[in-house]
Amino acid sequence: GPKVLQIPSHQIIDMGQMVTLNCDPVSNHLYFYWYKQILGQQMEFLVNFYNGKVMEKSKLFKDQFSVERPDGSYFTLKIQPTALEDSAVYFCASSLAHNAETLYFGSGTRLTVL
Amino acid sequence: QQQVRQSPQSLTVWEGETAILNCSYENSAFDYFPWYQQFPGEGPALLIAIRSVSDKKEDGRFTIFFNKREKKLSLHITDSQPGDSATYFCAASPTGGNNKLTFGQGTVLSVIP
């Protein structure tokens, strides 16, 4: 089936540094998402993105977070600066349409902030 | 506040048995309920989904039973196979929810040959 690729699979950084998580969504998909999963907890919605803009974001999407997809390349989540509580697995997803359509998830990037 | 709850946290069944995974929710605005299956090292993949206008959705060995009044649903996996061993997530979203899914914590299913 369609694949969403996430790079890297693991990332370890020091608190206060910047990190960029990369996502290569399904090629003809138009809507993009980031979800966050802290160890042992449920996956939580962070943000969705369409046509170069954030459509909706949750309260977990702090001011230090930003997303973009320049010129149809990777869909990225940037955290600057990072904090200890940002340690989690971040899942990228994409879909063809915005409402109740199948989300295709990547395998996640495990971010560890020391 | 956990809006989508799943039980049990883990479940072990023998090959050929029926596994029953439970899910409940609080938000009456939720009307779309997908179940995602996740294998270790992979992302969640859509398994089966139901809308609140239906009380049952079947796809092969996988069936969702939905009770809108009680805000409960369950996923039944009949003739369970070792390859079904995975984590199953119940999720929910409202109409026009922009795919803002609220996930449960998941049920880890183990099927013993």
Tell me: the pLDDT tens digits for A8-35?
A: 999 999 999 999 999 999 988 989 999 9
Taking residues A49-77, report their average pLDDT. Answer: 92
Which residues of chain A have a CB within 8 Å of the CB of B49? 100
Write out pLDDT tens, residues B97-110: 677 899 999 999 99
pLDDT at B94: 87
Structure tokens belonging to residue B29:
């605005």
Place A47 in a pLDDT band, splitting at 50, 70 and 90.
very high
pLDDT at A100: 56
Which residues of chain A have a CB within 8 Å of the CB of B32? 100
Which residues of chain B have a CB within 8 Å of the CB of A108? 43
User: Are B45 and A100 a contacting pair at CB < 8 A?
Assistant: no
The distance of Cα B94 from the centroid of its chain, to the nearest Å, equals 16
Domain ranges of chain B: 4-112
Strand partners, B64: B57, B75
Instruction: Find, among A83, A53, A78, the residue nearest to A65 by Cα.
Output: A78
Task: Judge whether residue A113 has pLDDT over 80.
Answer: yes
Structure tokens belonging to residue A104:
């295709």
Taking residues B51-76, report their average pLDDT. Answer: 96
**Cβ-proximal residues to B65 (8 Å cutoff; 6+ apart), any chain:** B55, B56, B73, B74, B76
CA distance A34 to chain B (A): 10
pLDDT at B17: 98
φ and ψ of A86, to 5 deg: -80, -10
Would you list the DSSP string of A16-52? T--EEEEEE--TT--EEEEEEE-TTS-EEEEEEEETT
User: Are A99 and B101 a contacting pair at CB < 8 A?
Assistant: no
Which residues of chain A have a CB within 8 Å of the CB of B2? 42
Provide the Cα torsion A94, B93, B3, B91; round to 10°.
Answer: -60
Task: Judge whether residue A99 has pLDDT over 90.
Answer: no
Using CB atoms, pick whichever of A95, A98, A108 lies closest to residue B43: A108
Q: Is B104 on the interface with A (CB under 8 A)?
A: yes
Query: What percentage of residues in chain B have a pLDDT greater than 70?
Result: 96
Among the ranges A63-72, B4-13, B40-49, which has the highest mean pLDDT value? B4-13
d(CA A38, CA A82): 15
The domain made up of A5-113 is a member of CATH 3.40.50.620: no
Structure tokens belonging to residue B112:
């013993």
Query: What percentage of residues in chain B have a pLDDT greater than 90?
Result: 88
**Cβ-proximal residues to A57 (8 Å cutoff; 6+ apart), any chain:** A46, A47, A48
Q: Is B35 on the interface with A (CB under 8 A)?
A: no
Under DSSP, the state recorded for A99 is S
Domain ranges of chain A: 5-113
User: Are B46 and A91 a contacting pair at CB < 8 A?
Assistant: no
d(CA B31, CA A16): 40
d(CA B108, CA B89): 9
The hierarchical CATH code for the domain B4-112 is: 2.60.40.10
